[in-house]
């Protein structure tokens, strides 16, 4: 076993364990969301940082996704140079530094710097963890494992929020400093724990460690058998992809504009954009403002109501994890955008009908529902370019996240309920875009997806034939033999014959 794959084979032989542990990186984002949303009506927080108004509070919140944008764009260099595993470990270390600064913050400037540093960690992990998961797991469970990344975000939100709720009974600055300090614990666990897990086999192969890559694949997919059919298939597909990238892969971001690439890049970036424009920022970052607008102005009753949103968020992610590899990606995206658009219009409509301008607990003017219990309850209970392209897609996510985090508080403070109509419209636009442009990829390897897009603009996204992109083991091996520069990279069977 080479230096890049020193790990405990018994622990790392289960792809579910390997893929799910890395999801702690996603949980860091969830921790940040509720670490801020839980203090928006905390008097100690407000007084410590000068009672920030809508624009100032938006800037404080937006500083984290701004840092995430920087982290996401740096993933391409870090993940390809030092490896996926070490980048995840680095993300955990950076998060600890940011958490320390936030916990000790004495003014807005120090708080913003801490959040930017923490954001860099989130940007790194949000981009590299899905790459690591997709490269470490078999196609049959890949969607499920990547979905666990989202579930870990929802758990991070929920756990940190209840810590915030418990600490709200503490008087003084400890009510928000303790939760901000405790959030470094998962990052320590992540960085320490990743040391016992393997590096991505694709990274290993690309850096000349073919034997280590084969061993990792054998441990994960073949019970240690290097000649297991799935192991051989994955090994040969990785070989093809690595050789292709060495000869024709993207050398710079300008290569993303070459024929055949822009469509895929724009689909990735657009999907991340739509995920932000869906309006979940309202329901997560600024849930306290939402419930204040719904008529829950008491601090404790507001916090309890907020927890309902976060519990539902965790629960409703479970179907995606269980069924994404059965139902497919397209149906879930289409149904999700339609439902989200409907609920946004419903919340906006209820607030428009029963609300009026009034003063919040923090002293700012906002659109509020007063003395209308039915409306309040209704608002509450609804609910080849891969590295560079992934970095750009994730950067798109954080660009819109930053913009919305900054814009939502002033929006709620000025156009009030109309804010929900804007996000509802975005959801319906996303539905149309997804229906016409996004093909189904369920059950296909990363390399097989390449074949779908090689059809250019001739395919219809809603009716990709099941055989397109599907390859037998014999086909993969035969294609591999035609690749240039194969010296020193024989298939497992060829190596076995040579050794014999």
Q: Which helix (H) or strand (E) holds 19?
A: helix 15-21
Look at residue 81 in the predicted model and tell me its pLDDT. 87
Look at residue 500 in the predicted model and tell me its pLDDT. 40
Look at residue 291 in the predicted model and tell me its pLDDT. 67
Contacts 24+ apart (CB under 8 A), 137-140: 137/15, 137/18, 137/19, 137/220, 138/15, 138/220, 138/221, 138/230, 138/234, 139/443, 139/444, 139/445, 139/446, 139/448, 140/325, 140/443
All domains of the chain in start order, with CATH? 3-437 (1.20.1250.20), 446-486 (no CATH)
**How many Cα atoms sit within 13 Å of 279 on the Cβ side?**
30
Dist. CA 499–CA 33, nearest whole Å:
55
| SS3 per residue for 455-480 | CCCCCCHHHCCCCCCCCCHHHHHHHH
Per residue of the chain (500 residues), what is the pLDDT tens digit?
Answer: 555 555 555 555 677 788 788 888 888 888 888 888 778 888 899 999 999 888 888 889 889 888 988 888 888 788 888 999 999 999 999 999 999 999 999 999 999 999 999 999 998 988 888 888 888 877 777 777 777 887 888 888 888 888 988 888 888 999 999 999 999 999 999 999 999 899 989 889 888 898 998 988 888 888 888 888 888 888 888 888 777 777 765 556 666 666 666 777 777 777 777 777 777 766 676 666 666 666 555 555 556 666 777 787 788 778 777 776 677 777 778 887 888 888 778 777 777 766 565 555 555 555 455 454 444 444 352 225 555 666 667 777 778 778 777 777 777 677 777 777 888 888 888 888 888 877 776 666 555 666 666 655 555 665 655 544 455 555 555 555 555 544 444 555 555 444 44
Q: How many CB atoms lie within 10 A of CB 169?
A: 8
Look at residue 483 in the predicted model and tell me its pLDDT. 52
Contacts (Cβ under 8 Å, ≥6 apart) of 411: 419, 422
Contacts (Cβ under 8 Å, ≥6 apart) of 25: 88, 91, 92, 124, 125, 126, 128, 129, 149, 152, 190
Cα–Cα nearest to 243, from 199, 198, 210 = 210
Look at residue 385 in the predicted model and tell me its pLDDT. 55
Look at residue 247 in the predicted model and tell me its pLDDT. 72
β partners of residue 139: none
């Amino acid at each position: 076993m080479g230096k890049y794959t020193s790990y405990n084979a018994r622990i790392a032989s289960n792809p579910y364990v390997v893929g799910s542990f890395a999801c702690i990186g996603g949980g860091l984002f969830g921790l940040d969301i509720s670490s801020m949303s839980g203090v928006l009506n905390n008097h100690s927080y407000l007084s410590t940082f000068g009672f920030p108004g809508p624009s100032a509070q938006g800037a404080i919140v937006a500083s984290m996704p701004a840092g995430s944008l920087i982290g996401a764009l740096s993933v391409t260099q870090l993940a390809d140079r030092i490896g996926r595993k070490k980048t995840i470990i680095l993300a955990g270390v950076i998060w600890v530094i940011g958490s320390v600064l936030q916990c000790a913050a004495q003014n807005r400037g120090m708080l913003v710097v801490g959040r930017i540093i923490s954001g860099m960690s989130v940007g790194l992990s949000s981009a590299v963890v899905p790459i690591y998961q997709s490269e470490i797991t078999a196609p049959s469970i890949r969607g499920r494992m990547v979905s666990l990344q989202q579930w870990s975000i929802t758990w991070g939100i929920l756990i940190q929020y209840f810590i915030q709720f418990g600490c709200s009974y503490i008087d003084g600055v400890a009510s928000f400093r303790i939760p901000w300090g405790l959030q470094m614990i998962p990052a320590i666990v992540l960085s320490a724990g990743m040391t016992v897990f393997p590096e991505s086999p694709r990274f290993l192969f690309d850096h000349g460690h073919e034997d280590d890559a084969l061993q990792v694949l054998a441990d994960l997919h073949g019970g240690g058998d290097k000649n297991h059919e799935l192991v051989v298939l994955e090994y040969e597909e990785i070989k093809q992809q690595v050789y292709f990238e060495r000869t024709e892969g993207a050398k710079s971001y300008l290569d993303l504009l070459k024929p055949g690439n822009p469509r895929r890049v724009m689909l990735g970036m657009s999907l991340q954009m739509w995920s932000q424009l869906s309006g979940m920022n309202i329901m997560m970052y600024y849930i306290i403002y939402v419930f204040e607008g719904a008529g829950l102005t008491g601090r404790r009753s507001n916090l309890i109501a907020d927890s309902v949103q976060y519990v539902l968020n965790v629960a409703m992610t479970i179907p995606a994890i269980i069924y994404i590899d059965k139902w497919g990606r397209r149906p879930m995206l289409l149904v999700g955008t339609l439902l989200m658009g409907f609920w946004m219009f419903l919340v906006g409509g209820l607030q428009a009908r029963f609300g009026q301008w009034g003063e919040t607990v923090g002293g700012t003017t906002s659109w509020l529902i007063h003395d209308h219990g039915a409306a309040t309850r209704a608002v509450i209970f609804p609910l080849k370019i891969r590295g560079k392209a992934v970095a750009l897609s994730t950067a798109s996510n954080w660009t819109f996240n930053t913009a919305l985090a900054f814009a939502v508080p002033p929006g709620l403070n000025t156009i009030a309920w109309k804010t929900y109509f804007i996000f509802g419209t975005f959801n319906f636009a996303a539905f149309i875009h997804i229906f016409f442009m996004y093909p189904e990829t369920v059950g296909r390897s990363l390399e097989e997806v390449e074949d779908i897009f090689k059809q250019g603009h001739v395919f219809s996204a809603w009716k990709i034939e099941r055989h397109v992109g599907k390859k037998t083991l014999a086909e993969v091996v035969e294609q591999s033999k035609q690749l240039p520069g194969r010296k020193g990279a024989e298939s497992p069977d060829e190596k076995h014959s040579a050794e014999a």
